[in-house]
Amino acid sequence: MVTPRVGVLALQGDVREHVRALTLAGAEAVLVRRPEEVEAVDALVLPGGESTTIDRLSRVFGLREPVRRRIAEGMPVYGSCAGMILLADRVLDGHRDQQTLGGLDITVRRNAFGRQVDSFECDLSVSGLPDDHGQPYRAVFIRAPWVEQVGAGVEVLATVEHGGTSHVVAVRQGSLLATSFHPEMTEDHRVHAFFVDLVRAQSGSRSDDNGEGHR
């Protein structure tokens, strides 16, 4: 079985939690802080944290353009909470100079569910996750965004009711995956396992195309 090398963008946010979850999901998890480290991974996780801070630091440390290029080349990327904002092509209620890495044809609203004191947990049905004896996914929302618009090529994986309205909180577009919630904050690692399987499938397909065996 392929053991994918998955990087976690280690500028700010829930880095250790993602590393642990990825390791338990069967990946080789490594920290990514320098441009050359972007080239050495099969996939990347953009952690929860502060999207404006991660955006600013990615530019300071020269990571923005290497990551954007790898996304354009088809590298699998998963973003949780702030990571969803960073993957989105369009952001509402962002800071004036805020930029995203882009790639996901979605419009997100930053801090849509409210402030830190408005954080909450709820049970979700998330399409595509491995079945855990019929157990729903317990999702943790902390100053989370929601998705207001999705492009034609975007698959909606989960929604949540809030204020009497249903909001999109998990999406996939090809090799890009994003959630409004924080799976790294729980002991349920099905979202990370889903992403690692996605990376394995892409890595295996690429190796087969190149006539190479799995490492």
Active site (catalytic) residues: 81, 182, 184
Spatial CA neighbour of 178 closest among 123, 115, 95, 101: 101
Distance, first Cα to last Cα, the chain: 8
User: What are the b/e assignments for 153-181, b being 16+ CB within 10 Å?
Assistant: ebeebbbbebeeeebbbbbbbebbbbbbb
What does the CA dihedral 51, 172, 125, 199 come to, rounded to 10 degrees? -100
From 140, 146, 144, select the one nearest 184 (Cα to Cα).
140
The label of the residue with tokens 């700010």 reads 12
Given a contact cutoff of 8 angstroms between Cβ atoms, the answer to whether 185 and 141 are in contact is no
